[in-house]
Amino acid sequence: MSEMIIQTNGLTKKYRGRAAVNQLNLEIKQGDIYGFLGPNGAGKTTTIRMLLGLIKPTSGSISIFGRDLRKDKLSILKRIGSLVEYPSYYGHLNAVDNLEALRRILNVPKSRIDEVLEIVSLTSEARRPVKGYSLGMRQRLGIAASLLGNPELLILDEPTNGLDPSGIHEIRELIKNMPEQYGITVLVSSHLLSEIEQMAGTVGIIREGQMVFQDTIANLQQKSVHHIKLVVSEPESALWIARDLGSTGSLQENTLVFPNMQDAKIATLVRRLVENGHDIYRVEQEKKSLEDIFMQVIGEGV
Amino acid sequence: MMLRSLSADFLKIRGKGIWLLIFLAPLGVVGIEALNFGLRFDYLVGKQYADNLWDGLIKETSVFVPISLYLGCTLVSSLIANVEHQLSSWKQLLALPISRTAVFSAKFTLCVLLLAVSCIVLSIGTIILGMSLGFGTAMPWKDLLTMGYFPFLASLPVLSLQLWLSLSFQNQTFPVSLGVLISLVSPFFMQLSEWFPLNWPLMAFHSEHQLWFIGFGIGVGIIIMLIGLVHFNRKDVD
């Protein structure tokens, strides 16, 4: 098992008795892009703020890089870059001065400012006041700021929120490259699975403060219920044959629908139908999109 | 670590009009005195302070110093806090590998340094005014230099309080209103005991026990600063 970069244990944050985050066990592997998903208000931002030491957990523990956040907060934060919700910047300063204000605290060489501006392709706009930046440019500046301290872990909260498709694409490409090019582990949150699925290796889905799913994207796909659809010449008698074989299906607009049917059973059913003189026009699998699966996971009761 | 944060703070206040305030405010006080002496030149210079013109100028000016200091503490604290509030930069700043103590002390130090600059400007401005009114060069150096600093040290409790409030509230209406109120009502408490805290800045310059008032100012100022610091260290950042 590879080393866990972030591990939380029973992490809970209560506001006036109501748990915004409840018994959360987050596990993020080194070199992974971890997609942290959930509807608005599910507790993503609260969790991320706790990971960054901005708010204190009511109970539970956080271990980052194998160390306790409560004890080694500063040495842990030194290795993390973050962007929480909307990027913070000082509008009256230009991009270089914005980064300089952070650089003075981080104490990294001045050349690092040019490097991070290069990474997010803002070099040509570096001397303009940030006030005049588009949302996408601000977001890229936010990512540049988070990279300034040469982090090993990047925590990005809704980095694509409010961006247009091309902006989303740019940010996604940037994030995708982090583990390969710079060896950075990434935690990226979003309320849209479609934004995450193309870059994340692992996803954690949170709902009403509780983790409802935490595994790889591939395993999330398997969680879905696949339907097998058959279009045959005499659907009603075919349904009875299927029932004889132990598969209960339903007839929907002259199409036989079987939920979650195994390959072997499909083969047997098709053979039997052919033997009984049915004409088979189509056998198809109805694949659910990840978005459907996401809704299914979120919709499931506790 | 505090120094690194302070140097970042100096960069952040660039172009926010804070430096303008730091220079204009004491010059405003000097301007009032220029007007005062200009309009009543015959009375003030000819009769009232004929024996000791410099002392007269300092005395007239020093009445305005506490009010200006209270206003200065309020506005400087609020402007500095607002740099971070405006685009909710706290979450970014405090997620950096820097202790909250360092961040808080850097902001406090910044306020003290800026207001200290104002005090120097006040002294220099007053000297220039006196010279141009033809008071000569035999001036009371000690009083001219301390007319800003002693009251400033005695008003540290208000600075600590204002900075704490300004950093705590996202909306600056309450801290600024309170600060303006303090400065506006402060002259009316003159009748009360000289030990009433709002009278300390005036007494730190005029009283025979000025060192006591300065000492109290610094002491109480540090205590309130520490309370604010503890709160700042513990609070959740939204």
Compare A215 and B190 and report the one with higher pLDDT.
A215
**Cross-chain Cβ contact B88/A88 below 8 Å:** yes
**Neighbouring C-beta atoms of residue A40, cutoff 10 Å:** 8
Specify the pLDDT at position A300. 63
Strands A227-232 and A280-286: antiparallel
Give how far A153 is from chain B: nearest CA, Å. Answer: 13
C-alpha distance across the termini of chain B, in Å: 24
Mutate to test the interface with B, among A45, A54, A189 (most CBs of B within 10 A): A54
Instruction: Report pLDDT digits (tens) over A99-151.
Output: 999 999 999 999 999 999 999 989 998 888 888 888 888 889 999 999 999 99
**Cross-chain Cβ contact B89/A89 below 8 Å:** yes
Residue B16: pLDDT band with limits 50, 70, 90: confident
How far out from the chain centre does Cα B13 lie? 17
Question: Quick check: B96 and A76 in contact, CB under 8 A?
Answer: no
DSSP readout, A215-256? EEHHHHHHTSPPEEEEEESSHHHHHHHHHHTT---EEETTEE
Cα radius of gyration (chain A): 25
Least Cα distance to B30 among B178, B181, B132 occurs for B132
Chain B residues within 8 A (CB-CB) of chain A?
A: 4-5, 7-8, 11-12, 14-16, 83, 86-99, 234, 236-238
Instruction: Report pLDDT digits (tens) over A29-75.
Output: 999 999 999 888 889 999 999 999 999 999 999 999 999 999 999 99
Question: Would the pLDDT of A96 be above 80?
Answer: yes
- What is the interface size between A and B, counted as CB pairs within 8 Å? 86
Compare A260 and B214 and report the one with higher pLDDT.
B214
Question: Would the pLDDT of B109 be above 80?
Answer: yes
Q: How many residues comprise chain B?
A: 238
Compare B39 and A262 and report the one with higher pLDDT.
B39
Instruction: Report pLDDT digits (tens) over B139-156.
Output: 888 889 899 999 999 999
**Chain A CB contacts of B92 below 8 Å:** 82-84, 87-88, 102, 145
Question: Quick check: A202 and A28 in contact, CB under 8 A?
Answer: yes
User: Which residues in B177-187 are b (16+ Cβ under 10 Å) and which e?
Assistant: ebbeebbeebe
Calculate the alpha carbon distances from A62 to A187, B16, B48 in Å.
15, 39, 72
Distance (Å, whole) CA B135 – CA B217: 33
Mutate to test the interface with B, among A88, A97, A128, A150 (most CBs of B within 10 A): A88
Calculate the dihedral angle through the C-alpha atoms of A48, A54, A57, A58, rounding to the nearest 10 degrees.
Answer: -130
**Cross-chain Cβ contact A52/B95 below 8 Å:** yes
Among the partner-chain residues B12, B91, B99, the one whose CB lies closest to the CB of A90 is B12
Give how far B161 is from chain A: nearest CA, Å. Answer: 23
Instruction: Report pLDDT digits (tens) over A14-30.
Output: 998 899 999 999 999 99
Q: What angle do CA B189, B193, B194 make, to 5 degrees?
A: 90
Q: Does A77 touch chain B (CB under 8 A)?
A: yes
Q: Write the CB contacts of B179 (distance below 8 Å, at least 6 apart in sequence).
A: B70, B71, B73, B74, B75, B77, B78, B158, B162
Specify the pLDDT at position A2. 55
Specify the pLDDT at position B10. 93
Give how far A4 is from chain B: nearest CA, Å. Answer: 21
Instruction: Report pLDDT digits (tens) over B45-76.
Output: 888 888 888 999 999 999 999 999 999 999 99
Residue B174: pLDDT band with limits 50, 70, 90: very high
Calculate the alpha carbon distances from B68 to A101, B24, B53, B62, B104 in Å.
30, 11, 23, 10, 24
Q: How many residues comprise chain A?
A: 302
**Cross-chain Cβ contact B96/A149 below 8 Å:** yes
Residue A302: pLDDT band with limits 50, 70, 90: very low
C-alpha distance across the termini of chain A, in Å: 29
**Cross-chain Cβ contact B89/A74 below 8 Å:** no
Specify the pLDDT at position A167. 84
Calculate the alpha carbon distances from A87 to A49, A90, A141, B30 in Å.
14, 10, 8, 43
Q: Dihedrals φ, ψ of A19, to 5°?
A: -80, 115
Least Cα distance to A160 among A182, A188, A132 occurs for A188
Quote the pTM value: 0.85
Least Cα distance to A34 among A222, A163, A205 occurs for A205
Distance (Å, whole) CA B206 – CA B159: 21
Question: Would the pLDDT of A217 be above 80?
Answer: yes
Report chain B's mean pLDDT, rounded to a whole number. Answer: 92
Residue B207: pLDDT band with limits 50, 70, 90: confident
Calculate the alpha carbon distances from B61 to A218, B54, B144 in Å.
77, 11, 10
Mean pLDDT of A277-301: 79
Residue B106: pLDDT band with limits 50, 70, 90: very high
Distance (Å, whole) CA A282 – CA A294: 28
**Cross-chain Cβ contact B96/A93 below 8 Å:** no
Percent of all residues in chain B with a pLDDT value above 70, rounded to a whole number: 100
Question: Quick check: A242 and A271 in contact, CB under 8 A?
Answer: no
Specify the pLDDT at position A285. 84
Mean pLDDT of A265-274: 89
Which ranges of chain B does DSSP label H, i.e. alpha helix?
2-12, 18-39, 41, 53-62, 65-85, 90-94, 100-132, 141-154, 156-168, 173-185, 200-206, 210-234
Mean pLDDT of B213-219: 94
**Cross-chain Cβ contact B92/A145 below 8 Å:** yes
Specify the pLDDT at position B179. 95
Mean pLDDT of B213-227: 95
Calculate the alpha carbon distances from A103 to A99, A291, B10, B13 in Å.
6, 40, 13, 16
Q: Write the CB contacts of A189 (distance below 8 Å, at least 6 apart in sequence).
A: A35, A36, A37, A38, A44, A45, A48, A156, A157, A158
Calculate the dihedral angle through the C-alpha atoms of B169, B175, B176, B182, rounding to the nearest 10 degrees.
Answer: 180
Identify the helix (H) or strand (E) that includes residue B190: none
Enter the ipTM.
Answer: 0.82
Instruction: Report pLDDT digits (tens) over B176-197.
Output: 999 999 999 988 888 888 888 8
Mean pLDDT check: name the lowest of A94-98, A107-111, A222-226, B167-171.
A222-226
**Neighbouring C-beta atoms of residue A103, cutoff 10 Å:** 23
DSSP-based three-state secondary structure for B7 = helix
Give how far B226 is from chain A: nearest CA, Å. Answer: 20
